[in-house]
Every structure is written in structure tokens, then in C-alpha cells.
With several copies, the nearest count.
Chain A
Amino acid sequence: MRELTYNEAAVEAVAEEMRRDPRIFYMSTDPIPPLFKEFGPERIRATPIAEAALTGMAIGAAGSGFRPIVDWRQVTFCFVAMDQIVNQASKIHYMFGGQVTFPILYRAAVGGGTQLAAQHSQSPYSMFMNLAGLKMFLPSTPYDIKGLLKTAIRDNNPVISFESNRLMGRRGPVPEEEYAIPLGLADVKREGNDVTVVALAWLVHEALAAAEELAKEGISAEIVDPRTLVPLDAATIRASVQKTGRLVIADEAGPTAGFAAEVAAIATEDQATFARLQAPPKRVCALQVPIPYSPILEKEVFPDRTRIIAGIREVLGGRGSAAA
């Protein structure tokens, strides 16, 4: 099958939908050249550096019948627009009694690994998960990002597409034919029986590498990629943990009140899953610190395949083993 990079697949999804629906337009502080070339300055708008305005303008344009896309670029830059996200976009449909729809796509690149330091290496999607009223996803492959973006652009609600900086250039198969991936559906990226690893984005690939490594020792790890953060596919995660009896959660973000904590909670609060859980769930996350610049420090902060392997070994130690 044809291969595209993660970034190419995302741009293709946007371009296909924009060809299909003239009500879609795109705003960002710097336009994406191929989109600008094809759709021109009316539909691909280069804006002032005023993300708060853009984010709110999308709400008004959506409420007026358009289907705006706002590309925040680095997720870092959406914090100037947090009022429009938290107090407006996430609440406006509910608060107004559902009288109109607000079809909006917000795009945000997340994650580190490129020594851009604290402000430009963030993975704050859990903050948005905690907020009621927004759908969001964080894909790990070119195939997934294209399929999820197409669904998101057709969704009649505000949706945030979190996109991994580390994966932008990564290639993968993407069919020429039209397809879409529904929100809320996890993907088991590798089947296994001994331990469940729930991983996001770049860490899906690290987890797969870890699984390869451990397979040599006869340890069989199942890798579950939720893909969508809201709504989260609790059923698939619980089913996997009920099968393996062990859970490791790998996330590039810090652990505190985050995605990893949520997965640990949905697994343990479920009676059937709790009953089959043989060991404490293990969070393999970044250190709970801002991301430092120097490569030695940055590497120390982020989880990777080595730490996933260590985490898996720990939970395989099981209930009887030394304290976590």
C-alpha cells in the first residue's frame, strides 16, 4: 500500500474534506503551503498572532453555518485562547440548550524530544480531558490520523486533534481509497496475553518495540492504542486487562491527574476488571517537571521502551512482588 508521513496524511485529510465541503475554512498564524496553494487566501487564512481571537471567531463562524478549522500549531499557543476553549467552545452547545451546532476542528501539535524546552514540548491533553464538552484524539500512525481527522471535520461539535511532534515525519501505509475512523474506538496494535500496555502516540511505537524485545523471553504483551481520548474506549481497555490481568500505561505526559491516572481508574473501578487484576497498574510517564532543554536532561524526563520494559517486568512480578 501507498505510504505517507503522519503529517502528509493529516494534510491530505484536510484537503479532501475542504474539496468536499466549501463551508470549511482554515485559520493559522502561518498557512500550510500545499493547502494555501490549492485553496487560496480566502479559505486558508494567514492570521495575526491572536489565537484567542481565532479560537473564538471559529465559534461565531460555526454558529453562523461554517465549519472552521483553527490550527493552533504547537499546543503551547492555545493557552492564550483558553478562555475561548474552556468558557465558550466546550460549554456553548450545552449551555444554550443545544439550539445550534458548532462544528469546529482545533489542531494542536504535542510532545517533546526536539530540545525545544519547557514552553514548546508540552503534552497537556489531560487538561482538556478533564474539561466536559470537547471531543479529542491523539493518533499514533498516518492511517489513524487521516481517518480520525476526516471524522472530526465531519463531526458537528468542537473536536481537538492532538498531533505528535515526534511522529510528524514517520511513514506508514495509507490507502488511496476513502475511509474514516470513528471517534471512541481503541485499536489493539498488538495482541498478547501476559500484560496490557495502554499507550499513546509515540509511546505506542516504543511499546511495540518493548513487546518485540520481551517476546524473545516468551513474554506476550498486548498493546492497546486508545487513539481517541474523549470519548475514551473503556470497554476495549477493560477487556484487555481482564484477559491479561496486568496493566501498564505509557504516556509522554506527566502522570498527575492525567490520562494515565484515568486509565488506571477506569480499569480498577470496574468490578470485573478489578477482580482479575493480578498486580498494581503501573504508570510509565514523564517526570512531573517542565521539559528541560539539554538533551541529557530531556532524555531523562521522558519515558521510552526501556522504561516500558521495566514497568512490564514490575507488574509481572505481580501481587507478591516488592512494593512498586
Chain B
Amino acid sequence: MSLSAQTLSPNLPPEKQLEMLRAMLVIRRFEERASADYLAGKIFGVVHCYIGEEAVAVGVCAALRTSDRIVSTHRGHGHCIAKGADLNRMMAELYGRATGYCKGKGGSMHIADFAIGMLGANGIVAGGISIITGAGLAAQMEKQGGVAVSFFGDGASNAGPFHECLNIAASWKLPVVYVCENNQWAAQTSAAATHALADVAARAAGYGIPGAVVDGNDIFAVHQAANRAVERARSGGGPSLIECKTYRQRAHTERRGQPDPRDPVEVEAWKGKDPIALLARRLEAQGDLGAAGFEALDREVMGAIEAAVAFAEASPFPRPDQAAEDMFAP
């Protein structure tokens, strides 16, 4: 999956490429901070980091409109940020505050922002696939050219809803793009041990839909594949499956002393293909990183993260009696 000439020269304006770099960097810095604050006891429950896979969420969402809808997984920060979620309300949710996206009821595994078409992180593996397929049906019935995107892992691709939904979407030509983030591990179990074939994309043919395998750490490769699939969906061509080969640079969760059976050599090798470094090097080579360069961008991003933390810290916790609220809508 070395970079093809084609993906080295995308027809994307430099500003757009810089935006993509910034979005990936925001995800990276947001999660580094979330992890630190989790270990410091300021964030509770569990935190799953997307670090190393940023090119997938950003490359795909760059092909979407705000009105398009996506659904995420237990590893959801990257998808939220890529779709345009507010960092303050995200961080406040992790901090369990009343100003968070879910008023402190959801936490890391349940951040959602329906206003920007982010239909939620989801703690159930494959839990989001049927939800977003329903959003795809809604988009088809709305007849506004809307598209729905399902992000899910290699592990999720072995669960029943993957099959049921791809078949329905294919039969009804729903405008859904199924994006498998194949980071080659499901918690402590390797994809090699649970998939008969290395490529999840090979399953697409059984439903008569396109299946593409792309380098998930090459944001332009991801973006181009996403553009093709989104175009097809918008124009009534039906669903597609895109498999992004990528890798989780950290353990399954940020909990201390967690087992990580992965070969350190494998982990290091993938860190060498870091999607952010890759794009930064390219922009530099293209002379598009701007005079101030990467460091300036990074400082600006760190500022936004600091602001989000400050917002969260300054926000009140919910009142105990609010535990009884939001049960049923009026």
C-alpha cells in the first residue's frame, strides 16, 4: 500500500489540504489530553483512542456535507471532530458536565450531535450500522441527495448487522457508504484470527456493490475513495463498502496496565506510517504548510484544546435530580 503517484497529487486546493491536516491534529491532541485527564481521574469510565487512524475519519468526512449523516463506534472522538463537533461540548461531556453534548449522561462512548449529522458514538460493536442504514433510508426518502456513512471496525464486520444492512442497502440502493476501519485488531484479538480473508472489502461482491481497499493512513487515498462512493450514493447508485487498512497506535483503551498482545515491532512500523506526519511532510514538500509551518499550526490547535478543557473545568456538574430527566420526550 505504498503511496501511488495519483494519491500524491490530489486535485484539492492547498487550504483544503491544510484543513485536513488541522482536523487530524485536533483529533490527535484532543485524545492525548483526554487520555492524560482520564489517567488523572478527571475523565471517568473508559476512553478509546483513535490515534493513528485520523486519516480515515477526516478523509471521509471531507467528502461530506454538514447535512449528511454519520454514525460512529466506541472509538468515536475522531468521527465527531471530523464531522465538525464542538470541542468544548465534547470535552465537557468527557468531564461529565451539564454543558456536555449529552448533559453528562453519555460520556466518551455516547457523544452525539444530531444537528451536524453525527448520530452518535456507540458502545455496541456493530451497533451503529443499522442506525445509519435507517438514516440512509431517510435520506433516500427525503430526495435531497443526502448521504449516510457508517464507520465500524474490522471486528464489527463479523457481526450480523453488517450483513443484514449491506444486503438491505444494496437491495434498496440506499445512499450509504460503509467504511470499515480495519486496524487489524479487535481488542486483544487479531483480525487474522477471526477473518477467513484478509480483506473485508471482498464481501462487497456478494451484495453486488463496489468494495475498495485503501491505505487508511494515506488521507488522499481515503478521500478519493470516499468521493467516489459518496458521488455514487448521491446520484442514486446505491451503497459502497470501503475498507481502510490502518492501525491503532495505542492499546485498546487508556486504562492502566491493560494487556496488549500486539508485536511491538508491528506497532512501531505503523507509527512510522503516521497519517499526520505523512500529510505534514507532503504539504511541506508542496510548500503548502505556510511560513509558520507545522509548529504554528500545532500551537493553534493546542490552544483550542486548552480552551475546551477550560470550558469543561468551568462547567457545572449536573444536579443529582437531573438523573431522572430525559427519560421520555414530551
Q: Which residues of A contact B (CB under 8 A)?
A: 25, 29-31, 33, 42, 46-50, 52-66, 68, 76-77, 80, 83-84, 87-88, 92-102, 114-120, 132-133, 135, 156-157, 287, 289-290, 292-301
Contacts and interface: CB of A to CB of B under 8 A. Distances in A.
Nearest to B328: A157
A63 B135 contact: yes
Interface string B122-142: 111111011111111111011
B33 interface: no
Contacts of A29: 155, 186-187, 189
A43 to B, nearest CB: 9
B114 A56 contact: no
A137 to B, nearest CB: 14
A114 B44 CA distance: 8
Nearest to B126: A49
Given A29-B189, A33-B259, A52 B109 contact: no
A56 B131 contact: yes
A83 B104 contact: no
A60 B134 contact: yes
Interface stretch (B1-9, B19-27, B162-170, B290-298): B162-170
Contacts of B44: 115, 293-295
Given A293-B45, A299-B320, 9 more contacts: A48-B195, A50-B158, A50-B164, A56-B129, A57-B137, A60-B132, A76-B124, A93-B328, A289-B327
A249 B109 CA distance: 32
Nearest to A91: B110
B141 A98 contact: no
Contacts of A119: 109-110, 122-124
B71 interface: yes
Contacts of B328: 93, 135, 156-157
Contacts of A46: 188-189, 193-194
A49 B158 contact: yes
26 contacts: A29-B187, A30-B189, A47-B168, A49-B156, A52-B130, A56-B127, A56-B131, A57-B133, A59-B130, A66-B138, A76-B124, A77-B124, A77-B125, A87-B124, A88-B122, A95-B106, A98-B329, A100-B114, A102-B329, A115-B107, A116-B107, A116-B109, A119-B123, A156-B328, A157-B329, A292-B104
Nearest to A297: B323
Nearest to B94: A293
Contact of B101 (A50, A87, A99): A99
B96 A56 contact: no
Ranked nearest first, the 7 interchain pairs of A and B with the lowest CB-CB distance are A56-B130, A60-B134, A57-B134, A294-B96, A294-B104, A293-B107, A64-B138
Contacts of A25: 141
Contacts of A56: 127, 129-131, 133-134, 161, 165
Interface in B305-330: 317-330
Contacts of A57: 130-131, 133-134, 137, 165, 168
Contact of B164 (A48, A61, A100): A48
Nearest to A42: B141
Contacts of A61: 134-135, 137-138
B262 to A, nearest CB: 13
Nearest to B111: A96
B168 A53 contact: yes
A56 B328 CA distance: 19
A114 B318 CA distance: 17
B175 interface: no
A50 B160 contact: yes
Interface centre among A31, A42, A95 (most CB of B within 10 A): A95
A49 B327 contact: no
A117 B187 CA distance: 19
B138 A96 contact: no
B106 A98 contact: no
Interface in B38-79: 44-46, 69, 71
Contact of B97 (A48, A53, A98, A294): A294
B323 A301 contact: yes
Nearest to B133: A57
Contacts of A297: 96, 104-105, 318, 320, 322-323
A32 to B, nearest CB: 10
Contacts of A64: 69, 134-135, 138-139, 142
